[in-house]
Amino acid sequence: MKSAVITFPGINRERDMLLALEATTGHKPISVWHSETTLPHVDLVVVPGGFSYGDYLRCGAIAARSPIMADIKAKALKGLKVIGVCNGFQIITEAGLLPGALMRNANLHFVCREVKLKIENNQTFFTNKMANGQIVSCPVAHGEGNYTCDAETLRRLESEGRVVFRYAEGTNPNGALNDIAGIINEAGNVIGMMPHPENMIEPLHGKMDCRPLFEGLLAA
């Protein structure tokens, strides 16, 4: 499986993602700089976490309008798999690849801690090695992860099984609507999530709960 990791100015989790993809898929991902206009031929694009453009204007807003995002959007509409993590989730949502918006955490605090994630849909290209209802540990590190959307969008996300990850009861760190931690688009090829699964895959991370997510990429 060939993958690419996109780096924007201010992104700081790209190395973690590159290492996680290489360790789990056995292939070295291609690192792509934001000013490039065409993606290399890959099966998966990951938009990693960080603070693109210093979170100016709105988190992810400026990165979402960068040259490479136009090509990612065009190819995502044709079925290219895309995962956005943390700032990457904010970026692909700002780009219109996923519905809703990520707002300032309800408690106004930047949260950097471990949460419990409940797998709500294991029929996706990222969760196929997990069981529905399975609860895993995963770190979060963000100030604006408070997922929100209008009532009709929420109804559709819930009824179509498009909430992929939910904060397990009592661990919602940001006030997100319905404890939503990650969602998938209607076509099933774009996933966004606030937590950082790339930081829970090796013994040195303390736990390896999220390794099956990456292993699932090979099965998809």
Partner 1 sequence: MLKAKIKVTLKNGVLDPQGKAIEGALGSLGFGGVNGVRQGKYFEIELAETDKAKAQTDLKSMCEKLIANTVIENYEIELH
Strands 44-47, 3-7: pairing is parallel
Burial of residue 113 (CB within 10 Å: 0-12, 13-18, 19+) is: exposed
Q: Quickly list DSSP for 21-36.
A: HHHHHSSPPEEEETT-
Site for partner 1 in 68-127 (CB under 8 A): 94, 99-101, 103-108
Rank residues 122 and 148 by Cβ distance to partner 1 and give the closer one. Answer: 148
- Of 11-19, 37-45, 61-69, 115-123, the window that binds partner 1 (rule: CB under 8 A) is 61-69
State the minimum distance, in angstroms, from the CB of residue 106 to partner 1.
5
**86 given a catalytic annotation:** yes
Burial of residue 74 (CB within 10 Å: 0-12, 13-18, 19+) is: exposed
17 part of the interface to partner 1, by CB under 8 A? no
176 part of the interface to partner 1, by CB under 8 A? no
Catalytic position from the list 14, 59, 198, 205: 198
**76 contacts: CB under 8 Å, gap ≥ 6:** 45, 82, 97, 185, 189, 190
- Out of 19, 30, 61, 168, which residue is the one contacting partner 1 (CB under 8 A)? 61
- Out of 73, 175, 185, 188, which residue is the one contacting partner 1 (CB under 8 A)? 175
State the minimum distance, in angstroms, from the CB of residue 95 to partner 1.
11
- Out of 122, 134, 148, 178, which residue is the one contacting partner 1 (CB under 8 A)? 148
The structure tokens listed for 27 are 């292939």
**114 given a catalytic annotation:** no
Query: What are the distances in angstroms from CA 210 to CA 38, 135, 198?
Result: 30, 10, 7
Please tell me the count of residues contacting partner 1 according to CB under 8 A. Answer: 20
66 part of the interface to partner 1, by CB under 8 A? no
Residue matched to tokens 């895993």: 136
Strands 146-148, 101-103: pairing is antiparallel
Q: Which residues bind partner 1 (CB under 8 A)?
A: 57-58, 61-62, 65, 94, 99-101, 103-108, 146, 148-150, 175
- Active site (catalytic) residues: 86, 196, 198
